[in-house]
């Protein structure tokens, strides 16, 4: 597990950029109908934003909470832009995104504490 923390601390920004780009493209790409995939739309939002928060919260760079606030802000902008690209913006999506960010932080914090505990032994 120690190597996971080292890997994320070295490459957290790259992981974050890739995830943020994927979320943005998938959220704004115009489609006639959404593909049929398991789970609900809100579940997908929750998982995507949890994954976005995870590397930042695990690596904890300086001012990492500002990144999280920025992610929520970008999420809101995406919801506002979606109607202009043949998609539907929903405030419940923003709520699912925010909840995903919080849970991503909680999971990363738990993992970080376990890794650091293991490292100190």
pLDDT digits (tens, 9 = 90+) for 25-46: 999 998 877 777 888 899 999 9
Calpha distance 87→59 (Å, rounded): 34
Residue 77 falls within a domain, yes or no?
A: yes
Torsion angle of alpha carbons 48, 6, 18, 61, nearest 10°? 80
Length, in residues, of the chain: 121
Per-residue confidence band for 1, with pLDDT thresholds at 50, 70 and 90: low
Residue 90 falls within a domain, yes or no?
A: yes
The predicted model scores a pTM of: 0.91
Residue 63 falls within a domain, yes or no?
A: yes
Predicted local distance difference test score (pLDDT) of residue 86: 86
Domain count, the chain: 1
Mean pLDDT of the chain: 92
Residue 83 falls within a domain, yes or no?
A: yes
Residue 71: give the domain boundaries: 40-121
Predicted local distance difference test score (pLDDT) of residue 32: 79
Crossing angle for the helix pair 64-81 and 41-59, to the nearest 10 degrees: 160
């Amino acid at each position: 597990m120690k190597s996971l923390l080292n890997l994320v601390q070295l490459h957290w920004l790259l992981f974050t950029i890739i995830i943020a780009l994927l979320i943005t493209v998938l959220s704004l790409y115009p489609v006639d109908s959404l593909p049929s995939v398991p789970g609900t739309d809100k579940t997908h939002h929750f998982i995507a934003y949890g994954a976005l928060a995870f590397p930042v919260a695990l690596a904890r760079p300086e001012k990492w909470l500002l990144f999280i606030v920025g992610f929520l802000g970008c999420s809101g902008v995406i919801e506002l832009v979606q109607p202009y690209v043949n998609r539907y913006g929903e405030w419940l999506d923003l709520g699912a995104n925010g909840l995903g960010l919080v849970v991503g932080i909680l999971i990363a914090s738990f993992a970080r504490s376990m890794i650091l505990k293991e490292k100190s032994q």
